[in-house]
Structures are given as structure tokens and as C-alpha cells.
Amino acid sequence: MSDRLTIGYAGVAFASYYAEEHNQYGRAREYLTELAARMDVELVSYDSPIYEAHDAEAAAEMFIESDVDFLIVQNATCASGETLLPLTRVTKRLGLWGTPDPQLEGQVELHSLVSMNHFASIVRRYLRDEGVEYKWFFGEPGNEQLTRRLEVTLNALRGLKKMRTSRIGWIGGLSPGFFNMEFDMALLKQRFGTEVVALDMKQLMDRARAADPADVKRTSQELSSAAKLVLVDSREMTQGAALVEGMRNLVAEMDFDALAVQCWPTFQDEYDVAPCMAYGWMGSEYNIPVGCEGDVLGTVSMLMMNGLQVTARPPTLLDLTAFSADMEAVLMWHCGVSPRTWANEDGVSWVPHTTLGRKSENTYGVAGDMVFAAQPVTISYLSGDASELLILTADIVERPEKGFDGTRGWFTNFKLNNEAISVEDLVNTLVVRGQQHHYAVASATLGSELLEVAAWADLEVVTKVPYGDHMQRNK
């Protein structure tokens, strides 16, 4: 199965109306062809008008053979409900598109809105037990609002398709005590199609040790050149570079799209290394998200947002570490794992891990130290039995207080499900609802796309629990 999203287009009409006179089909195909090319999705178009049920049957067979993921049914004019039924066999995800009449007096020439409403009612009521879902669209080809609605849909469905075709390597299991991040592998695959392959740490380290010395040397040099400062010795940089090469080889061998890797304590006990730098480098240079501490659901969340919209900054995984109701800001941090492309103009430094071994004679390298650049972001996490989605957007701002050593930034201007929320209500919501303490963060504003993911995938979204001085229960 290809991981590229495939969409279909079909135009339905009554012959007694004026679809061909207004070039409804040609204008629609030209518009969707341009949109599909810009968004890197494949378009399959049925080029003949659909007037009767037998025309729709022929179109449906073509779309099924083309493995269409999403079918746009344009009411080029008013049309018979009989033409819709065969098309609902193509996919459970439909777009119902109406276009305005060219004039608002005299004889009605298209009557498209009426039929789009009619078709929506058929799906919702007559086909209520068939599992078919739809999103409605209205507007002339090229209309700004129509285009934005389509972009949101194509981004959301691309993210879901990415999850359906993805494989995640789960190496070493969860870090000790992280029971809150346990998940059901079978339910994850059933709901999203995402395959998780469990491996032990030795399978990764064997590949790191067997990496070509020339590749390790080159990667070590690239790592050093990318940093503002290198405060660890060459042995630790070589260890980190070898780990990068080991992960790259494992990804290539087993066709993984992402990794979730335990980062403590096994790496320190058996291999005398902190892997943070290597994890971040896999994201920044190879666009392979790596979830630290063995967090598979956090990794799935990063992978999903990567599929929604690829930016210059691959997603990262952070903790909520401090907040100030007065500043309306939250400090989000992790111990050094974020891709270097998140850094502000001061760049990244490679340093000993900020917490591991700090009260002993041992220090472990290598981790990143940086402050995030100001930017809009989306914060999400797929939790429960892969049935609940956190959807937050915010802005990273730079403040005089840089935050704790590691990879970090101050976040403000929060919206939950596209609605503004105060920091006090936000923290209350996350704690009362028992949200996992990891948060996947993407460098883009994807609130609408994630709300649409939740709608297509039938996910519950995390809703606000307003702050109160009384004890509150999550129900």
C-alpha cells in the first residue's frame, strides 16, 4: 500500500440542468489537479458526467480499482440520490461539494446546494448504519474558504494515511516507572493500522558497534560542525555518532518510519552513554521521529503531526516543567533530545546530560542544550487506548529567563480545540484528566487539522476543566 494519499473526483448532475454550459466538470478538474499537485496527493478523476445510477456504478469500479482514500462528489447541478449510493462503496470518507448558481434570479440553472444538502441527509440518515462519513464543501473552484477547507481535509487524511502505513521500532520498552504510557499494541493497529515492532536494546547496540568507522567519523564531524559548543570529549561524540549510524541502519533494514527508544537506565548501565543527541539528530537530519523513554504513543503523535504538515522543524517530545499564571506562560522542556532545528539564533551545544550521573563521579554524554526559537506550535498526544486526542496550539516566545538546561522554550497564547484557554485552566485540565506527562510538539499551527483527524477517526478530544479551588474528578 502506498503511503501517498489518493483522492477521487466525480461530478453528478441532471441532464436538464446546465452543468456543461457552465463548464462545471472542467473547472472542477482543473482546480483539483492544481491543488493535488501543490499538496503532493494523487488525483483520480472520472471524466464523464454522472447522470444515472449505472454511470455511478462505472465510476465506483474505477475508484475502487485505484484504491481511492477520499472521494469528492461534486453536485455539478441538482442530481438524483440514486447516483450517490454506488459511490459510497468506494470509501467511507466522502467530500460533498456544492457550487453557487451563477445568478440569483430567473430560472435556476444549477441548484447545487439543494442536492449537496440532499446527499448529506442520505448519508447521515439513510446510510446511518454503513459507517460512511462526510465533510461538506461549498464554493466556486479557487474560492479561498473552499480551498482552506480542502487543505485542512487533505492534511488530516494524509496524516491518517501516514499512520496507517507506518512501522515503529520499539526498542528496550518503557523506562522504569512509566506505567502511565503503557498501551495496547493490537488496539493501536486496529484503530490506525500503525504497526509496532518490539526489539531489545542489544539489537540496536549491535548495529551501532558494527557501523562503518568511516560513516561514524563523518557523522561525528557533522555533529561537531553543527554545534555552537561541544563540551564533551571525542569518545562521547564518537559513541553518539555510532548510535546515529546504528539507528539509521536499523530503520533501513526493518523499514521503520519512527523509533521509540528507552533512554535510561540501560544505555548508562551497559553502554555508558546518554543517547539524546543521537535521537535529536535522527529528527533534524533524517526526519525520523525518535520518542525518548520508550514512549510509543508520543512517537505515534509525532509521526501523525509529521504527516499532517512537514516543516523545517521535525516534531519533538517535551515535558510540562513549570508555569506562571501571572506571565500566562508554560515552560516546556526535555533533557536534551529536541532536533537542533528548533534552536534560536544561539544554536545548539552538545553537553553532558543535565541530570544523569550528576551526583556521582560519572557523567554521560551527549545531550543538546538550546533555547527554542519563537514560533507557532501545536501540542498533541494520542492517549487512552489510542482513542483520545489532546489538541493544543500555542506560541513559543523568548524570555529573559531561559529555562532549565536542556532543550526548552516558553509557551503562551494557548488554545484548546481552537478555543483560547488560560494557563491556569490548561494546567488544571491536564492534571485533573491525568494526561500523560509527555507532549508531542510540532512547529506549525495544526489545530483544525487535528480536530478533523479526531472527527474522521472517531476520537474523543480532551476538553477543558476550568480551574477551581475544590477537588475535581475526571469523568
- pLDDT band of residue 179 (cuts 50, 70, 90) is confident
pLDDT of amino acid 222: 98
pLDDT of amino acid 309: 73
C-alpha cell, 25: 466538470
Q: Within this chain, do residues 235 and 376 fall inside the same structural domain, yes or no?
A: yes
The span from the CA of 324 to the CA of 441, in Å, is 20
C-alpha cell, 324: 506562571
pLDDT of amino acid 385: 80
C-alpha cell, 64: 475502487
The stretch 150-165 carries a mean pLDDT of 95
- Domain holding 107, by residue range, is 6-164
pLDDT, tens only, 54-63: 999 999 999 9
pLDDT of amino acid 1: 60
pLDDT of amino acid 268: 82
In the predicted structure, residue 195 carries a pLDDT above the cut 90: yes
The span from the CA of 17 to the CA of 109, in Å, is 6
30 conformational bin, left if phi > 0, alpha if psi -120 to 50, beta if neither: alpha
Last residue of a domain, one of 142, 164, 186: 164
Q: Within this chain, do residues 125 and 256 fall inside the same structural domain, yes or no?
A: no
In the predicted structure, residue 310 carries a pLDDT above the cut 90: no
The span from the CA of 314 to the CA of 282, in Å, is 10
**Nearest of 75, 95, 91, 71 to residue 83 by alpha carbon:** 75
Q: Within this chain, do residues 196 and 155 fall inside the same structural domain, yes or no?
A: no
Query: From residue 289, how far is each of 167, 183, 255, 261, 335 by CA, in Å?
Result: 12, 19, 14, 11, 16
The stretch 308-323 carries a mean pLDDT of 86
- pLDDT band of residue 175 (cuts 50, 70, 90) is confident
Q: Within this chain, do residues 193 and 159 fall inside the same structural domain, yes or no?
A: no
Query: From residue 334, how far is each of 138, 193, 269, 272, 293 by CA, in Å?
Result: 44, 29, 21, 20, 11
Is the CB of residue 473 less than 8 Å from the CB of residue 436? no
In the predicted structure, residue 252 carries a pLDDT above the cut 70: yes
CATH number for the domain that contains residue 292: 3.40.275.10
In the predicted structure, residue 369 carries a pLDDT above the cut 70: yes
Total number of domains in the chain: 2
Burial 51-80 (b: 16+ CB within 10 A, else e): beeebbeebbebbeeeebbbbbbbbbbbbb
- 373 CA to centre of own chain: 21
Domain for residue 390, yes or no? yes
Q: Within this chain, do residues 332 and 406 fall inside the same structural domain, yes or no?
A: yes
On the CB side of 314, CA atoms within 13 Å amount to 22
Q: Within this chain, do residues 132 and 242 fall inside the same structural domain, yes or no?
A: no
In the predicted structure, residue 260 carries a pLDDT above the cut 90: yes
Q: Within this chain, do residues 280 and 153 fall inside the same structural domain, yes or no?
A: no
Domain for residue 311, yes or no? yes
Show the DSSP H helices in 72-200 as ranges.
Answer: 84-87, 112-121, 144-164, 185-192
pLDDT, tens only, 420-463: 999 999 999 999 999 999 999 999 999 999 999 999 999 999 99
In the predicted structure, residue 47 carries a pLDDT above the cut 90: yes
pLDDT of amino acid 150: 98
Is the CB of residue 213 less than 8 Å from the CB of residue 188? no
Is the CB of residue 338 less than 8 Å from the CB of residue 280? yes
Say which range, 175-179, 235-239, 455-459, 468-472, has the weakest mean pLDDT: 175-179
| 430 DSSP assignment | H
pLDDT of amino acid 288: 95
Question: Residue 240 belongs to what H/E stretch?
Answer: helix 234-254
pLDDT, tens only, 23-40: 999 999 999 999 999 999
Q: Within this chain, do residues 306 and 430 fall inside the same structural domain, yes or no?
A: yes
Domain for residue 16, yes or no? yes
Strand partners for 252: none
Q: Within this chain, do residues 73 and 221 fall inside the same structural domain, yes or no?
A: no
Choose between 309 and 165: higher pLDDT: 165
Q: What pTM value is reported for the model?
A: 0.95
Domain for residue 474, yes or no? no
Instruction: With H, G, I as helix, E, B as strand and everything else as coil, classify residue 17.
Output: coil
Q: Within this chain, do residues 103 and 216 fall inside the same structural domain, yes or no?
A: no
The span from the CA of 191 to the CA of 120, in Å, is 25
In the predicted structure, residue 111 carries a pLDDT above the cut 90: yes
Q: Within this chain, do residues 69 and 197 fall inside the same structural domain, yes or no?
A: no
- pLDDT band of residue 312 (cuts 50, 70, 90) is low
In the predicted structure, residue 161 carries a pLDDT above the cut 80: yes
What type of residue sits at position 9?
Y
Domain for residue 53, yes or no? yes
Residue 455: CB atoms within 10 A of its CB come to: 14
Of all residues in the chain, the percent with pLDDT exceeding 70 is 99
The span from the CA of 5 to the CA of 441, in Å, is 23
CATH number for the domain that contains residue 122: 3.40.50.10940
In the predicted structure, residue 126 carries a pLDDT above the cut 70: yes
- pLDDT band of residue 384 (cuts 50, 70, 90) is confident
In the predicted structure, residue 156 carries a pLDDT above the cut 70: yes
Q: Within this chain, do residues 249 and 220 fall inside the same structural domain, yes or no?
A: yes
The span from the CA of 320 to the CA of 414, in Å, is 13
pLDDT of amino acid 311: 63
Domain for residue 207, yes or no? yes
Domain for residue 22, yes or no? yes
- pLDDT band of residue 320 (cuts 50, 70, 90) is very high
Query: From residue 50, how far is each of 98, 112, 240 by CA, in Å?
Result: 15, 14, 60
Tell me what the pLDDT averaged over the chain comes to: 94
Last residue of a domain, one of 117, 132, 164: 164
The stretch 170-199 carries a mean pLDDT of 92
Last residue of a domain, one of 117, 149, 164: 164
Domain for residue 472, yes or no? no
